[in-house]
Amino acid sequence: MNAGAFRAAAGIWYLWRMHALIPALRRARIIPVIRCQRAEHAATACAWLREVGMTILEITLTTPEAVPLIAALAREPGLIIGAGTVPDAEAAAACLAAGAQFLVTPWLDPAVVGVARAAGACAMAGALTPTEIRACLCAGADAVKIFPASAVGGPAYVKAMRAVFPAAIFCPTGGIDVGHAPDYFAAGADWVGIGGRLVDEARIAAGDKPAIQAAARAALGLLEA
């Protein structure tokens, strides 16, 4: 079997149902992951990132008042809002009711995937090993969040997984910064999730808007690279 035939055979069982949101996520390349200890800092981060043109945001449920923030942002035209670190099906339903268009888990919870798919939302399930990645795909996940990517080899690890899953949709997350993002894309990432300097809570608390927006502009600059 040649490489093209193998790719088709390996991917046909999940590529046929690619979610409609995937092209927008691929175009964005970098998805800010909003994880703060204080609700007001999360809201400020979102506002500052939106001002420089970031229109896709992931609000993690470890952030206080995350669901109300998702609801407020989802009402804004032109934004695509997702929920991260979704712990269970009940939380998933609450996020979808608030307007989340994608749900992210750092592990595989088939119930969360099922809630997302039933609502027409994009399901991104977390995995690390080949066994876990295959389990995510078999459970119906639209994309696989490879987590924690930087702790297990970074781009080299993503490249190794891409060789095994040539048609899967990968979103590496965990310890990635803007400067390393091109290496992940070259290794086969479809997009990456980044917190770090994009959502540096100490800088947000200090009111350092220029620093946060400089990091965001650097991220947006990758779209033109």
CATH code: domain of residue 114: 3.20.20.70
Give the count of beta carbons closer than 10 Å to the beta carbon of residue 210: 10
Q: Is residue 186 part of a domain?
A: yes
Q: Is residue 11 part of a domain?
A: no
pLDDT of residue 222: 78
Q: Is residue 8 part of a domain?
A: no
pLDDT of residue 12: 44
Q: Is residue 16 part of a domain?
A: no
pLDDT band at 196; cut points 50, 70, 90: confident
Q: Which residues span the domain enclosing 184?
A: 21-224
Task: Return the minimum-mean-pLDDT range out of 3-12, 28-37, 72-81, 121-130.
Answer: 3-12
- The tens digit of pLDDT for each residue in 43-97 reads 999 999 999 999 999 999 999 999 999 999 999 999 999 999 999 999 999 999 9
Task: Return the minimum-mean-pLDDT range out of 9-18, 21-30, 126-135, 139-148.
Answer: 9-18
- The tens digit of pLDDT for each residue in 135-189 reads 999 999 999 999 999 999 999 999 999 999 999 999 999 999 999 999 999 999 9
Q: With 90 as the cut, is the pLDDT of residue 16 above it?
A: no
pLDDT (mean) for 5-33: 74
- The tens digit of pLDDT for each residue in 158-170 reads 999 999 999 999 9
Q: Is residue 3 part of a domain?
A: no
Q: Is residue 42 part of a domain?
A: yes
Active site residues: 58, 145
Q: Is residue 140 part of a domain?
A: yes
CB 173 within 8 Å of CB 152? no
pLDDT band at 1; cut points 50, 70, 90: very low
How many structural domains is the chain composed of? 1
| Concatenated DSSP letters of 20-66 | TTHHHHHHH-EEEEE--SSHHHHHHHHHHHHHTT--EEEEETTSTTH
Q: Is residue 142 part of a domain?
A: yes
